[in-house]
Structures are given as C-alpha cells and as structure tokens.
Amino acid sequence: MSPPAKIGVLLVNLGTPDAADARSVRRYLAEFLSDRRVVEIPQILWQPILRGIILPLRPRRSARAYAQIWTDAGSPLAAITRAQADGLRTAFGETVQVAWAMRYGRPAIGPAIDALKAAGCERILVAPLYPQYCAATTATVVDAVSAHLKTLRWQPTLRFVPPYHDDPAYLDALKTSVEAGLAALDFAPDILLASFHGMPERTRMLGDPYHDQCQATARALSATLGRPVEVAFQSRFGRAKWLEPATDVRLEQLGREGRNVAVFAPGFSADCLETLEELAIRGSEQFGRAGGGRFAYLPCLNAEAPGMAMLEALVRRELAGWL
C-alpha cells in the first residue's frame, strides 16, 4: 500500500538577482522585461530597445541600488520570502510541505514544483504573494506554473490563493503593522502615504483591476485606522503614462509644503529594492531636498507576526477539504 499523498504549498514572489552586481542584474532584468505581460509592447519593437539600450546601460545603475540594501543573507526579498516559508512550515508541521520560489530569477517555479512532487505532494496550493491582482504579477505566476505543468506527465492537482486586497485577515495585519510603526515614531505624521507599485495607465483602460483594488485597500485601511490614507504609485518606467499620482512627485510636493510624512507599501508582501531603496532611501532624500519635515518609512508585513498570521489564515482557508 502506498503512503498517503502529501499536500504542498508554494509561496511565489516577484524575483531578485542572485547578487548585487551588474552581471546578475542583467540576467534578472533580461528575464523579467522579456515577459510579454510585464511589457505589453510588440516584441519586434521592444526587444531591440531591451537588448540595445536597457540591458547595456541599466544593470550597472540598478546594481548600485541593490548594493545599498543587500544583506549578509543576500537579497532582502529572497531572505524574507524564505523566512515566510519557514514560518508556515513551523505552523503546519508535517502535514504540509512548504516551498518558495521567485517568478523571475532563482529559486525558479519549475524546480520548486518538482521538489514538492518528489516529496510526495500530489496536491499543491500556489500562493502568489500579491495582495492586489494585476496581469503583470499574479497572472504571470499562473503562466509560469502552467508552462511547467506542460512538461510533466504526472501533474499535481493545483489550487491558487486568490488576490486578497480586501480580505479581513490582510486588512487586520496591515492595521496592526501600521499602528505599531506609527507608535514607534518620535513624531506625528501629517500624511500617511500608501505607495503601490505603478502600472501603465493602459493596463487600467484594458480592464486590469489593479488600480481599483489598490484604492479599495487604501479606503478600507483608512476606515479601520480612523485616519486618511493617501494613495500614490511608484517605479515609473519608460515614456508611457503611468498610474497617478506618482509617489516621487507627491513626496516632492509634500516636502515643499514642509509636511511630516510616513510612507508604507501595502502592495508588497516583503521589503525589497522598491521599498528599501526607492522609498526609504531615495524617497527620504528627495523629500528632504524639497524642504520636508520629518520622514519615516514603515516596513512591509514581511515575516513578522501580523503578516505570518495573515498568511497562515489565507493558506488554511484555501486548503479546506485537503487537510
């Protein structure tokens, strides 16, 4: 008699280079920016730009940015995602096998699925760590999982954790985390700014729900915190019109007004280049140069207790009927 099949959980985040050097960043960007969901420009137009301009020039600049946030454990995003997987492994014990992967870079999704299968998992719950749905994030995880399944003769049964932008567990975790961050400050912010990753405005016009879900998260959090939460969008790239208001533009405006600001990034499940370098370092510097008052960056949920309680609750719910 064969042993009972095990259940697997695969956490997936966006990705990171293997090291803070230009070669590693170039390899990572080549994969990331070649995804047709990430850059929705015809490849015959985009690839010459990517290969001829962006990849020769941008990796060196991005590597310097990564170097500012790199740790002894490597990339913060990878280290935190690993810690989240470890936390879930502890919470579920031997009943569930937990793995983690990056959509771009390593560890890759395909090998992670293979490892869960090798451990005896015939049922796998894939958890894209994006609270708000976007075709350029959530859908790419589904794409990659599906592409790997095509290579398997014996495919596992799959489920996906749905986007959780308005889930009570997520909102409760955000509330707890933001309140703790604000309580630790030695000043009272005039403005609480929620900075989400930006997307081209065209994605919204094509029906992508990302913008609306970001706004819904901010409205719900504002209600539960009992104070206004402003929304802005960061990480603009290229000449196309992106979602507005832009975080960097808004920080400069608030700086000129002499305001005190606390910024947080509720669309990111773990701190990474876009939060630690773009917001906490460059955002703070830009705000200060504009004449701003006090500035604080509040960390993401990461692998802290509120975030781990949320992840466990979401995973347990989606495993209903399997456990």
Residue percentage of the chain with pLDDT more than 70: 99
Residue 69 CB partners (closer than 8 Å, separation 6+): 76, 273, 276, 277, 281
What does the pLDDT read at residue 237?
84
For residue 266, is the peptide bond before it cis, meaning its omega torsion is within 30 degrees of 0? no
For residue 220, which amino acid is it?
Answer: A
Rounded to the nearest 10 degrees, the angle between the axes of helix 305-318 and helix 168-183 is: 180
What does the DSSP assignment read for 274-316?
Answer: IIIIIIIIIIHHHHHHTT---EEEE---TTSHHHHHHHHHHHH
Residue percentage of the chain with pLDDT more than 90: 96
Q: Tokens for 245? A: 């208001």
6-164+306-318: CATH topology is Rossmann fold (3.40.50)
What does the pLDDT read at residue 5?
75
Q: Taking all residues of the chain, what is their mean pLDDT, rounded to a whole number?
A: 96
What does the pLDDT read at residue 262?
98
pLDDT band at 2, cuts 50/70/90? low
Q: Tokens for 73? A: 């454990």
Q: Tokens for 171? A: 């909102």
- The reply to whether 168-298 shares the fold of 6-164+306-318 is yes
- The answer to whether the beta carbons of residues 174 and 266 sit under 8 Å apart is yes
What does the pLDDT read at residue 238?
78
Q: For 127-147, how does the pLDDT look when each residue is reduced to its tens digit (9 = 90+)?
A: 999 999 999 999 999 999 999
Domain positions in the chain are 6-164+306-318, 168-298
| Mean pLDDT for the stretch of residues 258-283 | 98
Calpha distance 162→91 (Å, rounded): 21
Calpha distance 166→175 (Å, rounded): 12
pTM of the complete model = 0.96
Calpha distance 305→21 (Å, rounded): 33
Asked if pLDDT for residue 1 goes beyond 70, the answer is no
- The answer to whether the beta carbons of residues 67 and 91 sit under 8 Å apart is no
Q: For 81-115, how does the pLDDT look when each residue is reduced to its tens digit (9 = 90+)?
A: 999 999 999 999 998 999 999 999 999 999 999 99
pLDDT band at 3, cuts 50/70/90? low
Q: For 299-318, how does the pLDDT look when each residue is reduced to its tens digit (9 = 90+)?
A: 999 999 999 999 999 999 99
3-state DSSP assignment of residue 196: strand
Q: For 143-172, how does the pLDDT look when each residue is reduced to its tens digit (9 = 90+)?
A: 999 999 999 999 999 999 999 999 999 999
Q: Looking at domain 168-298, does it have CATH number 2.40.10.10?
A: no
Nearest CA among 168, 189, 163 for reference residue 269: 163
Burial 96-108, CB ≥16 within 10 A → b, else e:
bbbbbbbbbbeeb
